[in-house]
Structure 1
Amino acid sequence: MTKSMKILRPAIMCFLVMTIVCGVIYTAAVTGIAQLIFPGQANGSIITVTLKDGTQKDYGSALIAQEFTSAEYMIGRPMGTTNLSPVSEEQKALVDERTDWLHTLDPDNTADIPMVLVTASGSGVDPNITPDAAEYQVARLARERGVSGDDVRAIISKYTTDRFLGIFGEPAVNVLKVNLALDGLL
């Protein structure tokens, strides 16, 4: 065996052992534990609905936003991320564009638009909005759906989560779940 092979052999063996331990065994163990303890979350928190004909349909993840643009649906945060400064002209133009769109969608609503409806989240796929952003949309949803505002608020309340352990984070309304409930699917 040559001198260079003697030097390379331990490095190659270490690489192979670490690949098997970290890339195969560890990954399989973590995946297996996640599937055992948290199967819904490990599989993407998919919202599956049983339809009237008995078939099941997947509507998306409760953890990833979907874009809704019709007046009869609750509108979530803008999709896509931005690293623009909050005071930049480009950010102001995006906010103004989204504000104009919301006024076009609901011209009767003269309330202040909650900031969460005109600014993207850090991930760009936040599935939740704040309770005040949901309340901003109640009158439009009730009008478009032909139901009372109290009916819409009851659905929003059902799909609003409180702070984690009562102290961490903020209350959040899951837009997809509210829209599926408004459609009578949840």
Structure 2
Amino acid sequence: MHAPDDRELQDMAARLGARLRDARHMLVTAESCTGGWIAKTVTDVAGSSEWFDCGLAAYSYEAKQALLGVRPETLEVHGAVSRETVLEMVSGALVHSGATLAVAVTGIAGPGGGTDDKPVGTVWIAWKRRGGYASAEVFHFDGDREAVRRQTVAAALRGLEAIAA
């Protein structure tokens, strides 16, 4: 998979912003492995205050619990990089914000931290509209830490654009 450069990410964010503005959505991001990169990318778009509510970067288990309402049992049983955790993250982001649309990401960007079951490049992304059901998808990105994170941001933005209409 291709790791997009800054210009490509900015173009994606601008298209998403226009769609969110037209649909009167407000966005919240809940980020682990990207550390706020999705929020940074969308707020680089002039006028993003019309459609961006807030971003939450929650790396630790404690932050995921306190800021996003992820249950300790979920983290203990499934780990931070799991479908179950990302679904709780995306729902918690909506509960703890005034947004109407949310994205959450959690993964292993590397270079360390991977296992046989969850190698470096494993990333879960979830999307949800307020009042709707969340969807989640697992990705297996290639490349170094930056490439994995860039691909994660791009996939998150593409998914948001798909559900924003």
Q: Which has the higher strand share?
A: 2
Larger radius of gyration: 1
User: TM-score w.r.t. structure 1 length?
Assistant: 0.31
**Structure with the greater relative contact order (CA < 8 A, sep ≥ 6): 1 or 2?**
2
